[in-house]
Structure 1
Amino acid sequence: MNAKHLKLAVLMLIILAAGAAGGYWWANHAQISPGPAMTTSSQAPAERKPLYWYDPMVPQQHFDKPGKSPFMDMALVPKYADDSGNKAEAGSVKIDPRVVQNLGMRTASVTRGNLTPKLEATGVLAFNERDVSIVQARAAGFVERVFARAPGDVVAAGSPLVSLLVPEWSGAQQEFLVLKKSGDAGLMDVARQRMQVLGMPSQLIQQVERSGVPHPVVTVSFPMSGVIRELDVRAGMTVTSGQTLAKVNGLGTVWLDVAVPEALAQQIQVGQSAQARLPALPGEVIQGRVTDILPEANLDTRTLKVRVELPNKHGHLRPGLTAQVQLAESDKQSMLLVPTEAIIRTGKGAMVMVAESGGHYRPVEVQTGAEAGGQTAVLNGLSEGQKVVTSGQFLIDSDASLQGIFAAADAPDTSTGAAPAPAPAPVALHEAEGRIISFGKGEVTIASGPLMGMPAMTMDFALARPQLVQGIKVGDKVRIGERQTDSSLVIERLEKIGGTK
């Protein structure tokens, strides 16, 4: 390598070293002094401060710090100064999406379809009192033998009951046989008629005529199959003409006596079909029909007794067993339907929370109709396709009340061109009196009197609204109004009626 090439290589090394040193300095300087854009993006948003905390079920009570509500088993909800902006749309409130998610609020669409109203009640099986046979003595006599029978035994038609010695029949039979030997047909007819007048069965008369000997001892048999309800005869006793020896009740059909609330009596008709399910026969559905609606109501339970006749082909239906009966009539008219859990019952009627766009919710008054299968017919107030809140609607209602927003009736549904629907029938509730035992989360334990045809008992009832228990304490005597759902008994009305016990 000559001197010229050596100088050029040294110059290149110097330039490379200077460039590396400059890059290292610039990198360190950039890390220490970030630009204005980076400084702006790292700033944290300002945190909102609550004005106070409150219980949505008791919104008028304010608390200065978070915690658990002293009224209900739930956490207090914060109230912010800018929550007044929730009234951005007239007649509606806006709920923060985070609150919606935390509370697990659910919505459902208003649909159109057919509703099959179903009335479910409890009943008790009883004997069919129209299927009864009385066994009586046709003449005075003496009991020579009683066959092995006892009340409650199931017997077949023609089974023997007792053997009776009838002296009066013995004399008439001997007279008939004497006239038979004489060959006088006219006198024989007179003697035969005399035996019939004395109550002698035609089979016995024919037997005497064929055998030619008297039969003073006659065996009395059961005229029909069934169960012996009464047995009033013993060996050696004397019986008189017309005396009742036994009573037999048929088992081909049985009665199911059902307690129906008086407000629903107009929905029941004689001849209406019914379905019965018995705990003693799980999985089996027995078809029957309504035969009678008894005219007298039960004053304690305010129910009417409806009699349903059920077939008893295999003899498994035994009087005294309980059963759940369902009476249903399909309504072929198309109507608007919403989940029953979306309905909020008020003192003046019913309302729902309609979910709108942008997180807005609006209370709307509705007219409700029949209820079946977890669905309630809406006669007026909603339109098909609207969204209604099915879970958490009470919190929204409380927030709306705080802001002075109350339910209003929407325009009636005119999508079918039909005239406005008539006012709905009142919601039928089963009523009884009882005493408060304890309170639970969303439920209350009551020592209830007779209810829905069932005897007095202590049981848990779900509360339709937590506000029902305000002003009521353990030991208070109350009157309850409840409705039966698929899973429980729900109290819709709870009134204090007296002092504690």
Structure 2
Amino acid sequence: MTLDRTNAMRWGTGVLAVTMLAGGGGYWLGQKGGPATTETGSAQSGRKILYWYDPMVPAEHYDNPNSLSSMGMKTVPKYADDAPMGDAMPGVSVDPAARQNLGMRVVAAEMGALPSALTVTGTIDFNQRDVAIVQARSGGFVTRVYARAPGDVIGAGAPIADLQLPEWGGAQTEFLAVKRLGKPELTAAARQRLRLMGMSDALIGEVERTGRTNGTVTIRSPIAGVIQSLDARQGVTLGAGQTLAQVSGIGTVWLNAAVPEAQAGIVRVGQSASATLTAFPGESFAGRVSAMLPAAQADSRTLTARIELANRGGRLRPGMFAAVALGSEGGQALLVPSEAVIRTGARTLVMLALADGRYRPAEVRTGREGGGKTEVLAGLAAGEKLVASGQFLLDSEASLTGIAARPIGGGK
């Protein structure tokens, strides 16, 4: 009886060992879900094994199930019926356990607005369209200079210098003489001559009202801003048209942003922009691209995007450094996660998630990128599902089994 018990124990141990061996190969990539991955299981299922391989290193092939790959992983079988045949839907199959082990994540292509991804640097500059040149309209000399210097911030109408203009005095004397003739036509012509010489209506009215000439004129700034240059000095003799001062307005400023040449194509006139400066932490200044300058900087290979910013209170000073985020145009686009895009150099692919756990590469044409999203211009439709994690392994498996990528424009 003891012998029989011993034989029974040995028989049970053998069965247990066979059972463990049969259940050890239950994981494989690219299979349709079926029997265990042993040679016996394959024979029973009628499926032909081509070779054994490691899904992480699909280029390595082995001739027995007990092989270990170069990465030290146990190999799994590659079945002959995994490859697409006839009119069957092409694709790589992965069972649920394998999907979980690979950490595969499936997302859907969806319509949305592409957030900004282009952040560049720039510097504040004067608005060169807001410049006033103060000149002497007639020859004369400077009798007084007000307390001004280059770099001073002045308001509109601020006095700069007093000029004595003998030519103005002579013209005003002639005007008074014509006025005494009592001929309105001649008086109007003489008044227009004074205007053409640069006299203001207020000065002409004062001469007409008092009957006295006034050849001294106060030159004032026509705009508020910063004095860039000042050539008026007391006692200096001036010729007609000589520049006394140049004033740059500061109501608006230009932000010149350096855009890399490779990304200049996505920047357009009218596009929104937001600037942040270290001088004003936590505050942003909004503007729009007013121009893309035609010349590129040869040393940095950048183009200049000119952005016009409102300068309330004159806080933005020329020369300040800014970080510029160029916003999107706000249009809707078909977006996919950037990590789901496979760029091979010759083409761009995504891995489609088909029915019944099958996956197939699809060729796409991409556009802009931003915020972890990529715009798909062609090759994909809204709502189609694709793999965002683990797609590179599936793409390698598809290449090994000869599964063709779905071309742009559809088709098989």
Q: Residues 343-382 of structure 1 correspond to what in structure 2 (within 5 A)?
A: 343-356=341-354, 360-369=358-367, 371=369, 373-378=371-376, 380-382=378-380
Residues 275 and 285 in structure 1, CA contact (< 8 A), matched pair in contact too: no
Secondary structure of 2:245's partner? strand
Kindly provide the amino acid, as one letter, of the partner of residue 137 in structure 1. Answer: A
Q: Would the alpha carbon gap of residues 360 and 178 (structure 1) be closer, same or farther in structure 2, given more than 3 Å must change? A: closer
Q: Which residue of 1 aligns with 2:275?
A: 277
Q: Which residue of 2 aligns with 1:126?
A: 125
Residues 297 and 303 in structure 2, CA contact (< 8 A), matched pair in contact too: no
- Structure 1 distance, partners of 2:283, 2:6, is 80
How far 1:240 sits from its partner (Å)?
Answer: 1.3
Q: Which residue of 1 aligns with 2:268?
A: 268
- Structure 2 distance, partners of 1:268, 1:138, is 43
Q: Which residue of 1 aligns with 2:43?
A: none
Residues 158 and 223 in structure 1, CA contact (< 8 A), matched pair in contact too: yes
Residues 139 and 240 in structure 2, CA contact (< 8 A), matched pair in contact too: yes
Q: Which residue of 2 aligns with 1:322?
A: 322
State the TM-score, normalizing by the size of structure 1: 0.57
Question: Which one of 19, 33, 45 corresponds to residue 20 of structure 2?
Answer: 45
Kindly provide the amino acid, as one letter, of the partner of residue 84 in structure 1. Answer: K
Kindly provide the amino acid, as one letter, of the partner of residue 322 in structure 1. Answer: A
Q: Which residue of 1 aligns with 2:46?
A: none
- Structure 1 distance, partners of 2:366, 2:171, is 78
Residues 104 and 389 in structure 2, CA contact (< 8 A), matched pair in contact too: yes
Question: Which one of 51, 67, 82 corresponds to residue 88 of structure 1?
Answer: 82
Q: Residues 14-33 of structure 1 correspond to what in structure 2 (within 5 A)?
A: none
How far 1:158 sits from its partner (Å)?
Answer: 0.7
**Which of 211-220 and 247-256 deviates more?**
211-220
- Structure 1 distance, partners of 2:306, 2:276, is 16
Aligned-pair Cα RMSD in Å: 4.9
State the TM-score, normalizing by the size of structure 2: 0.67
**Which of 100-109 and 140-149 deviates more?**
100-109
Q: Residues 153-232 of structure 1 correspond to what in structure 2 (within 5 A)?
A: 153-170=152-169, 175=173, 179=177, 184-185=181-182, 189=187, 195-196=194-195, 198-210=197-209, 214-232=213-231
Residues 146 and 235 in structure 1, CA contact (< 8 A), matched pair in contact too: yes
Secondary structure of 2:206's partner? helix
- Structure 2 distance, partners of 1:196, 1:101, is 88
Q: Would the alpha carbon gap of residues 386 and 186 (structure 1) be closer, same or farther in structure 2, given more than 3 Å must change? A: closer
Kindly provide the amino acid, as one letter, of the partner of residue 364 in structure 1. Answer: A
Secondary structure of 2:233's partner? coil
- Structure 1 distance, partners of 2:115, 2:81, is 39
Secondary structure of 1:152's partner? coil
- Structure 1 distance, partners of 2:15, 2:131, is 97
Residues 349 and 361 in structure 2, CA contact (< 8 A), matched pair in contact too: yes
Q: Which residue of 2 aligns with 1:235?
A: 234
Q: Which residue of 2 aligns with 1:78?
A: 73
Q: Which residue of 1 aligns with 2:392?
A: 394
How far 1:305 sits from its partner (Å)?
Answer: 4.9
Kindly provide the amino acid, as one letter, of the partner of residue 235 in structure 1. Answer: Q
Residues 228 and 249 in structure 1, CA contact (< 8 A), matched pair in contact too: yes
- Structure 1 distance, partners of 2:408, 2:203, is 84
How far 1:132 sits from its partner (Å)?
Answer: 1.9
**Which of 212-221 and 235-244 deviates more?**
212-221
How far 1:157 sits from its partner (Å)?
Answer: 0.5
**Which of 202-211 and 336-345 deviates more?**
202-211
Kindly provide the amino acid, as one letter, of the partner of residue 78 in structure 2. Answer: S
Residues 87 and 93 in structure 1, CA contact (< 8 A), matched pair in contact too: no
- Structure 2 distance, partners of 1:237, 1:60, is 91
Residues 177 and 212 in structure 1, CA contact (< 8 A), matched pair in contact too: no
Q: Which residue of 1 aligns with 2:108?
A: 109
Q: Would the alpha carbon gap of residues 352 and 191 (structure 1) be closer, same or farther in structure 2, given more than 3 Å must change? A: closer
Q: Which residue of 2 aligns with 1:150?
A: 149
Residues 175-228 of structure 1, C-alpha deviation per residue, up to 9 Å, x if partnerless? 469859x95545994876665555443333433455565544432110111222
Q: Which residue of 2 aligns with 1:490?
A: none
- Structure 2 distance, partners of 1:146, 1:87, is 97
- Structure 2 distance, partners of 1:395, 1:251, is 58
**Which of 356-365 and 256-265 deviates more?**
256-265
Q: Would the alpha carbon gap of residues 88 and 51 (structure 1) be closer, same or farther in structure 2, given more than 3 Å must change? A: closer
Kindly provide the amino acid, as one letter, of the partner of residue 224 in structure 2. Answer: S
Residues 104-161 of structure 1, C-alpha deviation per residue, up to 9 Å, x if partnerless? 44332234x3445868464544333222211001222222332232333221101111
Q: Which residue of 1 aligns with 2:136?
A: 137
Q: Would the alpha carbon gap of residues 408 and 179 (structure 1) be closer, same or farther in structure 2, given more than 3 Å must change? A: closer
Kindly provide the amino acid, as one letter, of the partner of residue 206 in structure 2. Answer: Q
Residues 435-468 of structure 1, C-alpha deviation per residue, up to 9 Å, x if partnerless? xxxxxxxxxxxxxxxxxxxxxxxxxxxxxxxxxx
How far 1:243 sits from its partner (Å)?
Answer: 0.5
How far 1:390 sits from its partner (Å)?
Answer: 1.6
- Structure 2 distance, partners of 1:163, 1:240, is 15
- Structure 1 distance, partners of 2:80, 2:105, is 20
Q: Would the alpha carbon gap of residues 402 and 141 (structure 1) be closer, same or farther in structure 2, given more than 3 Å must change? A: same
Secondary structure of 1:158's partner? coil
Gapped regions of structure 2 (runs ≥ 5): 26-37, 39-50, 85-89
- Structure 1 distance, partners of 2:288, 2:340, is 34
Q: Which residue of 1 aligns with 2:29?
A: none
- Structure 1 distance, partners of 2:297, 2:250, is 31
Q: Would the alpha carbon gap of residues 100 and 265 (structure 1) be closer, same or farther in structure 2, given more than 3 Å must change? A: same
Q: Which structure is higher in RCO with an 8 Å CA cutoff and minimum separation 6?
A: 2
User: May I ask how many residue pairs the two structures share in their alignment?
Assistant: 367
Secondary structure of 2:78's partner? helix
**Which of 114-123 and 365-374 deviates more?**
114-123
- Structure 1 distance, partners of 2:224, 2:253, is 14
Q: Would the alpha carbon gap of residues 114 and 176 (structure 1) be closer, same or farther in structure 2, given more than 3 Å must change? A: same
The percent of aligned pairs where both chains have the same amino acid is: 40
